[in-house]
Amino acid sequence: MAKMVPDVVICGFVITALLLIHFFSDILRLSLGGYYTHATLSQLVESHSNKEYSWLLKLMANCFGYSCVFVPGYLIYKYVVRTKYLEKSEKTCVYTAVSMCITGNPGTELDYSEPMERKPMDPLPPSPGPQKRTTSQDTLLLFWCFGGLMVSYLTWGVLQEKIMTQQYFNSEGQPTHFKDSQFLVFCNRLSAFICAMVTLRIKTPSNRHCTPLYKYSFASFSNIMSAWFQYEALKFVSFPTQVLAKACKIIPVMLMGKIISKNKYDWYEYVSAILISLGMIFFMTGSASGSNTSSVTTFTGIFLLTMYLTCDSFTANWQDELFKNYEMSSLQMMAGVNLFSTIFTTTSLWVQGGFMDSLAFASEHPKFVLDALTISLCSAVGQLFIFYTISKFGAVVFTIIMTLRQAFAILLSCLIYKHKISVLGIFGILVVFFAVFMRSYGKQRMKAIKKRAEAHKPKMGA
């Protein structure tokens, strides 16, 4: 019986943390006037705040939900370190779960001599690694990734706009709109997790998974927050400011790569990044020159856009670093990240009361269920291509592809709806394609120079 005490303590941490967080969320709900109403926390936040500061209350409400994961996790880790929990011989389901989260392998003891915070990346021993691909194989693989990302996310964007803008009719013929975008994120992440797990069961990866599960939570959290900051920023910034931020995303991705992975980039990579950003700015502003756009940009909007770029850049580079250090497959990465994304969104929806509201909406509007399933499938397929592209080509190449996706989306819109593109927009397209060509040419030139240098080394030694 005494051997079960540590497992009971760990389960107690989880239950106590959930009860305390639910208690504080009820206090917040009552403080916003929810005592005499049946309104959820998210509805109260929306109705009791002005436009300028509503995002701050929403962020606090989201953090209440996310803390349901972080607070118990932190307490359990501290308890495991202090009591040397992983050295016990009794292998229970709680022990297996804790060991998988902290060490990556059931039954592996934790190195207590050095705290885990000081070793965020514990690389594997050197391995022979995959065989090098030829230039033609690289080109074909890149086109495959490019095409998959284009098709899946262009379709996903069309469906997302449809769900958030169209009216749904219930059995009585009453029209209404679906408003909770976080529930869509939950559906997308859950379907992606199921897709990854089913594929892993069918196609067993050649390498054994040995990544501590908690490392996926960082990429998952930053991914969720980047999407949230982007949605909120759209309420406070003008269209040109949005264009500037999205078009220049490759630059913060490279800067974050230097911070996280200590990556070194050649001069042509910096030049091509700047040219791609400028070309995208010219193209997207030129294609929107005739549209009615808001001219209001606030300090709040700039801050939210900065946080979006920071979180988005961190996500791709952290995943790239995990691929390099732990050599997991893209499916394992997809399963790990979406596992925590599903947990984060579930707890946040539970605390704010949006989960039951969305399920009630789905039960009353069957057409919404079909649309939600379709967009979740597109998201799952798109994530397969995302993690595969990052594992094969890195975060920067993936960002370039997703930046070009914006240009193709606008071109598709111009073809369908007969929008006009100005001369500045056409010039921007030419600059982008020139930058992509320069980057490809520079990469091949650098490879050729390195090969010649390696070929001359034996002769010089002789």
Give residue for tokens 């495959």.
144
**What is the distance between the alpha carbons of residues 371 and 441, in angstroms, rounded to a whole number?**
43
In a 13 Å sphere around the CA of 86, the CA atoms on its Cβ side amount to: 22
Reply yes or no on whether the pLDDT at 322 is more than 80. yes
Separation between Cα atoms, residue 261 and residue 418, nearest integer Å = 44
Q: Each residue of 238-270: pLDDT tens digit?
A: 655 665 676 677 777 888 888 877 777 777 777
Q: What tens digit of pLDDT does each residue of 182-214 get?
A: 788 888 889 989 988 888 888 776 667 788 888
Rounded-to-integer distance, Cα 444 and Cα 170, Å? 58
Rounded Cα distance, 174 and 27, in Å: 35
SS3 labels along 162-199 = HHHHCCEECCCCCEECCCCHHHHHHHHHHHHHHHHHHH
| Residue closest to 322 by CA, chosen among 391, 250, 226 | 391
> Worst-scoring range by mean pLDDT, 65-69, 324-328, 400-404?
400-404
228, exposed or middle or buried, with CB in 10 Å at 0-12, 13-18, 19+? buried
Place of tokens 């120079």: 449
Q: Where are the domains of the chain?
A: 4-103, 136-456
**144-168: average pLDDT:** 79
Token output for 189:
């992440």
Bridge partners of 169? 175
Cα separations in angstroms, 343 against 68, 195, 216, 360: 9, 16, 12, 21
Give the 3-state secondary structure of residue 45.
Answer: helix
Look at 29-33, 167-171, 204-208, 226-230 and tell me which has the smallest mean pLDDT: 204-208
d(CA 58, CA 437): 43
Predicted model pTM: 0.73
Kindly report the number of other CB atoms within 10 A of residue 331's CB atom.
Answer: 20
| Alpha helix (H) residue ranges in 2-134 | 5-31, 41-47, 54-83, 93-102
